[in-house]
Amino acid sequence: MKVKMLDLTREYSLYRDEYIEAVNKIFDAGSFILGSPVEEFEKNLAKKLNSKHAVGVANGTDALLISLIAAGINEGDEVITTPFTFFATGEAIVQSKAKPVFVDIDRRTFNIDADKIESAITKKTKAILPVHLYGNPADMKKISTIAEKYGLIVIEDCAQSVGAEFEGKKTGTFGKAGTISFFPTKNLGTAGDGGAIITDDDEINRIARSLRIHGAVKKYIHASIGFNSRLDSIHAALLDIKLKRLEEKNGRRISLAANYNKNLTDKVGKPISQPGGVHIYHQYTITANDRDSLIKHLSDNMIETVVYYPLPLHKQEALKPFIDEARLPVSEEIALKVLSLPIYPELKEEEQNFVIKTINSFYD
């Protein structure tokens, strides 16, 4: 039996007629960039996530960069974040002209260790950028307390956590802004690239809406140097359909994760949810001391897996000119052990059980 890491064709086949109808309406209207489909999706996304505003942009990386700039991050500032994340988190900080300062992770949740943040704060620190990795919320209570104590901005990277919660609040609603990716593999993904910024801050909303259209304040009148970063109507229409099923799809991920937790051997490390949080399992990520051998065993049995992420950001060559050298032992250790298993709403029961059986047989 072949088990794919993700099979997007299954989801699209379920709702194909609905998607085609939505796309046809856009072709009939002849309006493809921003416009009413984007406005409608922004309104519905903000409502779903209990946020005042949602601003559609071209991708999750732009959402990060525009949020940083809109929040006033600039040259000479330092932004504290995690090294154990996708490259875009650190990249956006550098593109905003600020300096990334990496704080090691909690080995239980793989998110930034909030207890280590204060020791990294300097006179130049302007913001904290936590990532809710794999759909597991960071400890936003501690992070928010530290930010308030030192007068720091909080911008949340929610690329993998749309719909996740911490102590009853949606991720992305704790700080100045939350950023979202709609890359096709995400738990809320479109048929291409897309992103969004959610915020309760009217000024962040105003600046972000201007920056996404070349810094325009009205047509052909520009107040700042911005970006060409607009969410198009087709993606917005598809996302609006998917948004209605977000809780259902996240619920299915949670059920699949529970099955893994119950039936996988205890010889692998299973994911630990942040206390007080609702983990929506964008990824189900185990740890294994003999990871590479396990990967080969699974591959030999036609089971796909992925390592998210093999090299922490402080070890990435591209970022070295912009950061201080650091040894972050937990991130470095975890990067050698993590392995993400197939988990998506359309994964079949027999496929998941085959994954479990194959992993358990490796350790028998």
Do 180 and 44 contact (CB within 8 A), yes or no?
no
Across all residues in the chain, what is the average pLDDT? 98
In angstroms, the CA 294 to CA 356 distance is 12
Average pLDDT, integer, range 44-60: 99
Tens digits of per-residue pLDDT, 262-315?
999 999 999 999 999 999 999 999 999 999 999 999 999 999 999 999 999 999
Tens digits of per-residue pLDDT, 102-117?
999 999 999 999 999 9
Q: Can you read off the two tokens belonging to residue 211?
A: 């920056």
Tens digits of per-residue pLDDT, 242-252?
999 999 999 99
Tens digits of per-residue pLDDT, 211-244?
999 999 999 999 999 999 999 999 999 999 999 9
Q: In the chain, where do the E strands start and end?
A: 53-57, 78-81, 99-102, 125-129, 153-157, 165-166, 169-170, 177-181, 195-199, 216-218, 221-222, 277-278, 284-287, 338-341
- Which secondary structure element, helix H or strand E, spans residue 361, and what is its range? helix 349-363
Percent of the chain with pLDDT over 70: 100
- Cβ neighbors of 42 (< 8 A, separation 6 or more) are 53, 54, 55, 56, 196, 236
pLDDT at 21 over 90: yes
In angstroms, the CA 126 to CA 172 distance is 18
Task: Please report which confidence band the pLDDT of residue 50 belongs to, taking 50, 70 and 90 as the band edges.
Answer: very high
Q: Are residues 62 and 207 in the same domain?
A: yes
Give residue 71's domain range.
Answer: 8-103+110-243
- Name which of 329, 328, 339, 240 is nearest 288 in CA terms: 339
Among the candidates 199, 217, 243, a domain finishes at 243
pLDDT at 31 over 90: no
Among the candidates 243, 259, 282, a domain finishes at 243
Q: 3-class secondary structure for 76-98? A: CCEEEECCCCCCHHHHHHHHCCC
How long is the chain?
364
Q: Are residues 304 and 316 in the same domain?
A: yes
Q: Are residues 57 and 116 in the same domain?
A: yes
Residue 232, φ and ψ in degrees, nearest 5: -90, 165
Residue 156 is predicted with a pLDDT of 99
Preceding amide of 150 cis, omega within 30? no
pLDDT at 34 over 90: no
Q: Are residues 61 and 180 in the same domain?
A: yes
Residues classed as catalytic: 186
Q: Which residue has the tokens 């936003």?
A: 140
> Does any domain span residue 150?
yes
Task: Please report which confidence band the pLDDT of residue 41 belongs to, taking 50, 70 and 90 as the band edges.
Answer: very high
